Structure 1
Amino acid sequence: MPDIHFPIDINEVKGFLASDEGEALYQLAISCARQGPILEVGSYCGKSTLYLGTAARETGNTLFAVDHHRGSEEHQPGEEYHDADLFDPQAELMDSFREFRRNMRLAGLEETVVPVVAPSGVAARHWATPLGMVFIDGGHSLEAALTDYRSWSRHLVPGGLLAIHDIFPDPADGGQAPYDIYKLALASGQFEALETVNTLGILRRL
């Protein structure tokens, strides 16, 4: 287990990332620091951002955190992962950005993490910065997952890392969209599989 020091209790941060997956993200972000900045899609309240952002801070890197903060399909009222504390009754919309900003402030990451508050495809429309690592954990519909993969994987430098969360080879264990884009990356001939940590699939750009 890596020696990671957080100014706040990582277990108190809302999110769905297992500790072994977070620790793997931290190590990956450390390893690719010289290749370019890091970008994550799907920050939610910032659990993955803390792991990646801490690694970025320690290596003098930058993390771009892309999320519209209106929640994925499963976060909406009446759905399985809806959190009433993150619902804005005035706008009648889910809003995780206030909680995200609070966690970044408490963790001392405001000089390292650049929030990009926009849908993934919109944020990528004029993107031109080469990336050393991309972490995809956005919407789990096939359309959303494909948008994330097509928008951001092409900006990875050779040797850059692509990490995809919620890989479930068995459909009985979970939704298939993240696994579909994982297989798409391999089939493209542009990526090689490195390892899988829990449900985190890790590939390298050739």
Structure 2
Amino acid sequence: MALTSPTNGLSDERLRVADEAPGFMPLDEALALHEAATSYLSQPDSVGIGVEIGTYCGKSTVFLGAAAEAHGALVVTVDHHRGSEEHQPGWEYHDTELVDSHSGLLDTAARFRRTMYDAGLESTVLGLLAPSTAAARVWGREVDFVFIDGGHSMEAAQNDYDGWSGWVRAGGALLIHDVFPDPNDGGRPPYEIYRQALDSGRFTEQSAHGSLRVLRRIR
């Protein structure tokens, strides 16, 4: 797959912006994410909206936004911007440059806005600053896809799945990141909700790209 083309929205500049944004998604998985978003947003019954749960600084959001822009669609990305468990002080992925001096807490909102500004996606990507559970309570319409890449505790992953998987339209997609069947490779909660989706009978696996799983809603 070509990294850039006149139609896929992934300019060299956007790839540079995504590369420089703090985050944890490898390029091959990000490109697969873009391809999946493009596929579902371009279907005849598309509703023109995709949702991302877990924004961080917007690395993966660039790829989703590029797909949406190319099809006149929107991406809503949901995050409280205080970081997940692994981003807190004393944990492996804590980044002191993202700590707000006023509150003393992690705050990734400004870095996310910078990423969207630099990528030219401020009119395509709508940032919803809220916990996933709170945002799910006020959501009210079907979407073409939901991409779950939020907190990796079992409680957080379960809340994301319970709150958002039901909004995927029939024929749409549930995308889950950091799915590791072997527990030696990574945490289990994303794998657990992936299994729940398959066992529910509502979703069937369409493809796998590294730790990214693409599930199509069948009923």
Give TM-score, length-normalised by structure 2.
0.92
1:129 Cα shift?
A: 1.5
Within 5 Å, give how 1:116-131 maps onto structure 2: 116-131=128-143
Matched positions, count: 206
* 1:110 counterpart letter in structure 2: E
Residue 5 of structure 1: aligned partner: 11
Which residue among 156, 163, 171 is the counterpart of 2:183?
171
1:31 Cα shift?
A: 1.0
Asked if the contact 1:7–1:108 (Cα under 8 Å) also holds between the matched residues in 2, the reply is no
Secondary structure at 2:28 match in 1: helix
Structure 1 runs of 4+ aligned residues shifted over 3 Å read none
Instruction: Identify unmatched segments of 5+ residues in structure 2.
Output: 5-9
Residue 22 of structure 1: aligned partner: 30
1:12 Cα shift?
A: 1.0
1:92 Cα shift?
A: 1.3
Q: Sequence identity of aligned pairs in percent?
A: 50
Stretch deviating more after TM superposition (37-46 or 10-19): 10-19
Tell me, in whole angstroms, the C-alpha distance in 2 between the residues paired with 1:121 and 1:159.
24
* 1:131 counterpart letter in structure 2: V
Tell me, in whole angstroms, the C-alpha distance in 1 between the residues paired with 2:138 and 2:111.
28
Tell me, in whole angstroms, the C-alpha distance in 2 between the residues paired with 1:110 and 1:126.
22
Within 5 Å, give how 1:174-193 maps onto structure 2: 174-193=186-205
Within 5 Å, give how 1:101-112 maps onto structure 2: 101-112=113-124
The RMSD of aligned alpha carbons is 0.9
* Cα shift readout 1:55-79 (whole Å, capped 9, x = no counterpart): 1001100000000000000000110
Give TM-score, length-normalised by structure 1.
0.98
Within 5 Å, give how 1:147-166 maps onto structure 2: 147-166=159-178
Within 5 Å, give how 1:35-184 maps onto structure 2: 35-36=46-47, 37-184=49-196
* 1:5 counterpart letter in structure 2: S
